[in-house]
Amino acid sequence: MGELRAKWKVNMYAWLLLLPSLIFLLLFTFYPVIQTFILSFHQADLGSPEPFFNGIDNYKQMLEDEVFWKVLTNNIWFAIGTVPTSVALALAMALFANKALRGKSFIRTAYFYPTVVPMIAVANIWLFIYTPEYGALSHVMEWFGKGDMNWLGDQKNVMWAMIFMVIWKEAGYFMIFYLAGLQNISQELYESASMEGASSWTVFRRITFPLLMPTTMFVSIIAFTNSFKLVDHLVIMTKGGPDNASNLLLYYIYETAFSFWDQGMASALTIVMVVLLLLVAAFQFFGMDKKIHYN
Amino acid sequence: MRKVVKSLFAVVMSMSLITGCSSGNSSSTNNAAQGANSSGKTELSFYYPVAVGGPLTKIVDGMAEEFNKENPDIKVKPVYTGSYQDTTTKVQAAVQGKTPPDVAVMLSTELHTMMDMDAILPLDDFIAKDGGSEYVNDFFPGFLANSQVDGKTYSIPFQRSTIVLYYNKDAFKEVGLDPEKPPTSWDELVQYAAKLKKDGRYGVEIPSSSFTYWMFQALALQNGKNLMSEDGKKVFLDTPENVEALQFWVDLSKKHQVMPEGVNEWATVPSDFLEGKTAMMFHTTGNLTNVKKSAKFDFGVAFLPAKKNYGSPTGGGNFYMFKGTDEKKQAAAWKFIRFMTESKRAAQWSVDTGYVATRKSAYEEETMKQYVKDFPAAAVARDQLEYGHAELSTHNNGKVTKLLNDTLQSVITGQSEPAEALKKAQEEADKMLAPFNK
């Protein structure tokens, strides 16, 4: 009996410690997720003030919605454009910042500062850079005698413009993880490599890169989810335009929910996005994880 | 087993804790809804957005302060709620949470949406008790057009605007055009713009982001009639006149090359004008004070050029009141709306911000007379109101507006042809409006 009571005491103690976060988790994660799931099977828009069950109609409608497909395609291109490049750039920057003898902290700060600037301010800065005629980029183009380009006002350019900006913003943030990863690699490995006379490329290929794989995986998951979470820049810079050329999934969900007040459809879109992200994260975790060496 | 029961118990406990909290909240909001705090004052929450430059929050706060002084038994608490879009979102969230604000300024075009949600009060009873039609009829009909459905009035015009043509008089002189004679027709607009164009300066800019539909609506009105039916249940997008209007817009950049290609950003068009990068622009009168303060050259304001006739949609925000608040609060909210729209205050508001004064009698006020005398441009928007019409507002307004914006942008960026694109948009819009035409 006494043993049981002691056990119970320990358990209760653990539960009490967990309680605060459990409450928040239930209240702000599980409850909304379940609600969203239920609502996604309801017609709940302006035309039907009382939501009613309509089965998978929302999902069917989504498949026929041209904008949905455009947004999804955009998002995939956006992910392909931003994730590998920003991760590779972060790694290069980290290697450089790690090695640099002079001005180490200056270089790190310079690389990291895009992450510190508020999103809205970043969007405004880049809005100015991309402005035709007198924007910063137009001035630079002028030096090279190139014609004026409407970066954000042209369907062909707008996605590139957004991708470039996001790489600039993200690379510095990911660099920090790589820096931490680099510091964790044992110096003995490098010493023995130099005793063997290995070239620096071999050292990178056989030691640094493999041992950084856990960081790479972590960073690429973050980068991938981020590429589906971009909203603030779109609001300020393009509103998803022209003609949805820069519209991404989460912004479309926002529009559907808060401009069209079609809550059923917004919920269905949300479920699609969550499932998509879970699939990719699962693939990265269970697929790639086996090939990663943890020291 | 016992462990499981215990842990379940813990969860249940925590749940009851949460519900305990939330019920506590709702009772306190109920108290607020009673309309009186301990000192017996009626407290009003007032949501308002800011959509143009300048210290507008200060001006609005000052007006509310003045109202509180005049009415010691009422206390208005102004809440700045961001852009128009943000404000609508917040009001909507509050309505769904059953704690609507007592009074709010929202786009006049939200009318049908708000009615579909059964969120707003018709104001006819208040109007009847308080001046009746005399009060309402003093507002310019162009502004009231987005306020009324089926003979009922649902909102009162407040921060209202319309589109006008701004032009650079110095540039006109430079190329030998008469600076007192702005273009009055589409043909003249093209001719003048071609003359005004030179390296580093375009002839004219019409913004094509954010409020693309609004600009298109102006062209459509100049070429015939409005884009939607009065009850907001039908749109007329693919008429030959509208196709022609859109073709004209595209031609300005593609054929005549007097306007930059691609989408022109709503916010940077005024900067282009002030920087001398364009000699003329279509833009809201809401920018008048801003342009007046920042222009380093002599500028003029004129009617938008005509095709068949002059024409411009109106725009901007109105006062709304909401269902679900008690009578005492509603009476106080109405008093506040009356106060905010008094002639002398409407006149001062117009002088301070550049918005068009919403009432005819406001132009009889001394402040306004003096202002118009010193700055005749301020009267242009009022005079153009004779040709003013309701802004695009339909049921399912968000979807229909976005559809039209997207369509227009796809044509402006050269992805599709006007006739074909508008036809497709019409079909889509019909689908979106179908539930409201049953």
Where are chain B's structural domains? 42-160+315-389, 163-313+394-436
Residue range A60-289, CATH number: 1.10.3720.10
Res B11 pLDDT > 70: no
Q: Are B164 and B303 in contact (CB under 8 A)?
A: yes
Nearest to B398 by CA among B81, B104, B109, B106: B109
CATH of span B163-313+394-436: 3.40.190.10
Residue of A4, A19, A127 with shortest CB distance to B10: A19
Token pair recorded at residue B345: 């205050």
Question: Amino acid identity of B147?
Answer: S
At residue B54, the pLDDT reads: 66
Average pLDDT over residues A109-130: 85
Tell me the DSSP string of B158-225. Answer: EEEEEEEEEEEHHHHHHTT--TT----BHHHHHHHHHHH-BTTBEEEE---SSSHHHHHHHHHHHTS-
Fold of B42-160+315-389: D-Maltodextrin-Binding Protein; domain 2 (3.40.190)
Closest by Cβ to B409, choosing from A48, A243, A261:
A243
Q: Tell me if chain B has a CB within 8 Å of the CB of A258.
A: yes
Beta-carbon separation of B435 and A255 below 8 A: no
Mutation for A interface: B111, B208, B400, B402, most A CBs within 10 A: B402
* Contact criterion met (CB below 8 Å) for A213 and A293: yes
Q: A4 to chain B, minimum CA–CA distance in Å?
A: 10
State whether B413 and A19 contact (CB < 8 Å): no
pLDDT band of residue A151 (cuts 50, 70, 90) is confident
The CA radius of gyration of chain B, in Å to the nearest whole number, is 24
Task: Look up residue B366 and give its amino acid.
Answer: E
Q: Is B199 on the interface with A (CB under 8 A)?
A: no
Q: Mean pLDDT, to the nearest integer, of B67-79?
A: 94
Confidence of residue B32 (pLDDT cuts 50, 70, 90): very low
Token reading at B415: 């992805």
Distance from CA of B319 to the nearest CA of A (A): 20
Question: What per-residue confidence (pLDDT) applies to B186?
Answer: 97
Residue B115 has pLDDT above 50, yes or no: yes
pLDDT on residue A101: 64
Cβ–Cβ < 8 Å for B281, B273: yes
A131 near B CB under 8 A? yes
Task: Identify the pLDDT of residue A147.
Answer: 66
Name every residue whose Cβ is closer than 8 Å to that of residue B384 and which is 6 or more positions away in sequence.
Answer: B162, B164, B303, B304, B310, B312
> Quick one: closest CA in A to B211, which residue?
A239
Q: Which residue would you say has higher pLDDT here, B166 or B289?
A: B166
Among A221, A219, A250, A256, CA closest to A233: A250
Q: What's the distance, CA A266 to chain centroid?
A: 20
Q: What backbone torsions phi and psi does residue B142 show, to the nearest 5 degrees?
A: -60, -30
Residue with token string 């990265």: A284
Residue that is written with structure tokens 């090695």 in the block: A99
Asked if the C-beta of A67 comes within 8 angstroms of chain B's C-beta atoms, the answer is: yes
Nearest to B415 among A22, A133, A155 (CB): A155
Q: CATH topology of B42-160+315-389 equal to that of B163-313+394-436?
A: yes
Query: Would you say residue A283 has pLDDT above 50?
Result: yes
The verdict on a CB contact (< 8 Å) between B260 and A133 is yes
Round to whole Å and give the CA distance between A6 and A9. 5
User: Does residue B433 surpass a pLDDT of 80?
Assistant: yes
Contact A44, A36 (CB under 8 A): no
Confidence at residue B36, expressed as pLDDT on a 0 to 100 scale: 46
Rounded distance between C-alpha atoms, residue B268 and residue A131, angstroms: 8
pLDDT value at residue B255: 95
Helix axes B186-196, B240-254, angle to 10 degrees: 10
Tracing tokens 């600039």 back to the chain, one arrives at A168
Mean pLDDT of chain A: 88
Least confident residue range of A52-66, A151-165, B21-35, B129-143: B21-35
Residue B332 has pLDDT above 90, yes or no: yes
Q: How far is A31 from chain B (nearest CA, A)?
A: 12
Would you place residue A295 in the very low, low, confident or very high pLDDT band (cuts 50, 70, 90)?
Answer: low
Residue A22 touches chain B, beta carbons under 8 Å: yes
In a 3-state reduction of DSSP, which class is residue B164? strand
Provide the 10 A C-beta neighbour count for residue A61.
16
- The CA-atom distances, in angstroms, between A129 and each of A133, B67, B266 are 10, 45, 16
Report how far residue A190's alpha carbon sits from residue B41's, in angstroms, rounded to the nearest whole number.
Answer: 76
Grade residue B53 by pLDDT with cuts at 50, 70 and 90: low
Residues 6+ apart with CB under 8 A from B180: B300
CA atoms within 13 A on the CB side of B105: 25
Nearest CA in chain B to A7: B3
Single out the residue of A270, A218, A265 nearest to residue A57, CA to CA. A265
Residue to test with chain B: of A16, A124, A157, A239, most B Cβ within 10 A: A239
The predicted complex's ipTM stands at 0.82
CA dist B42 → B39, B334, B339 (Å): 9, 13, 16
Cβ A152–B263 below 8 Å, yes or no?
Answer: yes
Q: Does A17 touch chain B (CB under 8 A)?
A: no
SS3 of residue B307 by DSSP? coil
Question: Would you state the structure tokens that stand for residue B181, as one six-digit string?
Answer: 């004679």
Interchain CB distance below 8 Å, A243 and B407: yes
pLDDT over 60 (residue B30): no
Chain B residues lying within 8 Å of A133, measured CB to CB? 200, 260, 272, 275, 277
The CB-side HSE value for B251 (13 A sphere, CA atoms) comes to: 13
Coil, helix or strand for B436? helix
Could you give the angle at which helices A155-184 and A213-227 cross, rounded to 10 degrees? 150
Nearest to B398 among A48, A150, A259 (CB): A259
Provide the residue ranges of all domains of chain A, joining segments of one domain with +: 60-289
Name residue, tokens 């979102």: B89
Helix (H, G, I), strand (E, B) or coil at A260: coil
- What local confidence, expressed as pLDDT, does residue B155 receive? 96
**pLDDT of B178 above 60:** yes
Contact at 8 Å (CB) between B61 and B78? yes
Reported as a single tens digit per residue, the pLDDT across A224-276 is: 989 998 888 888 888 887 999 999 999 999 999 988 889 999 999 999 999 99
Among candidates B117, B406, B415 on the partner chain, residue whose Cβ is nearest the Cβ of A46: B117
Q: Sort out which chain B residues have CB atoms less than 8 A from A15's CB and list them.
A: 6-7, 10
pLDDT (0 to 100) of residue A185: 87
User: Which amino acid, residue B132?
Assistant: G
Of A46, A242, A244, the CB nearest to B395: A46
Whether the per-residue pLDDT at B98 is higher than 70: the answer is yes
| Test mutation, A18, A134, A260, A262, chain B, max B CBs within 10 A | A260
Task: Tell me the three state secondary structure of residue B197.
Answer: coil
Q: What is the pTM of this model?
A: 0.85
Does A114 contact B at CB distance below 8 Å? Answer: no
Residue from A11, A235, A259, A263 to probe the interface with B (highest B Cβ count within 10 Å): A259
Separation of alpha carbons A233 and A156, rounded Å: 18
The answer to whether the CB of B424 falls within 8 A of the CB of B407 is yes
Over range B30-44, report the average pLDDT: 59
Hey, is the C-beta of B11 within 8 angstroms of any chain A C-beta? yes
B398, A266 Cβ separation under 8 angstroms: no
Which of A25, A75, A13 lies closest to A228, judged by CA? A75
The rounded distance, in Å, linking the Cα atoms of B248 and B243 is: 9
Residues B354-376, mean pLDDT to the nearest whole number: 92
Question: What is the predicted pLDDT for the residue at A135?
Answer: 82
Has residue B42 got a pLDDT over 70? Answer: yes
- Which H or E element spans position B178? none
Residues 6+ apart with CB under 8 A from A277: A224, A225, A228
Interchain CB distance below 8 Å, B260 and A239: no
Q: How far apart (Å, rounded) are the C-alpha atoms in residues B148 and B120?
A: 12
Say how far apart CA A273 and CA A277 lie, in whole Å. Answer: 6
Report the range of poorest mean pLDDT among A21-30, A32-41, A114-123, A225-234: A114-123
- B343-353 helix and B56-70 helix, angle to the nearest 10 degrees: 160
Q: What is the pLDDT of residue B8?
A: 44
Task: Express each pLDDT in A50-75 by its tens digit.
Answer: 889 998 999 999 999 999 999 999 99
What would the DSSP string read from start to end of A85-137? HHHHHHHHHHHHHHH--TTHHHHHHHHHHHHHS-HHHHHHHHHHHH-TTTSHH
**pLDDT on residue A128:** 86
Residue of A nearest to B434 (CA): A47
Characterize the bridge pairing of strands B312-321 and B156-168: antiparallel
| The predicted structure's pLDDT at residue B56 | 82
CA dihedral B257, B263, B267, B269 (to 10 degrees): 0
**Residues 373-402, chain B: which have Cβ within 8 Å of A?**
395-396, 398-399, 402
Mean pLDDT of all residues in B232-237: 95
Question: Token pair of B351, please?
Answer: 């002088």
pLDDT, residue B43, reads: 92
Residue of A127, A137, A243 best to disrupt the B interface, most CBs of B under 10 A: A243
Strands B299-302 and B278-284: unpaired
Q: Please give the pLDDT value at position B197.
A: 95
Q: How far apart are CA B223 and CA B311, in angstroms?
A: 8
Contact with chain B for residue A262, Cβ under 8 A: yes
Instruction: Confirm if A44 and A129 have CB atoms less than 8 A apart.
Output: no
Extract the tokens encoding B240.
């030959």
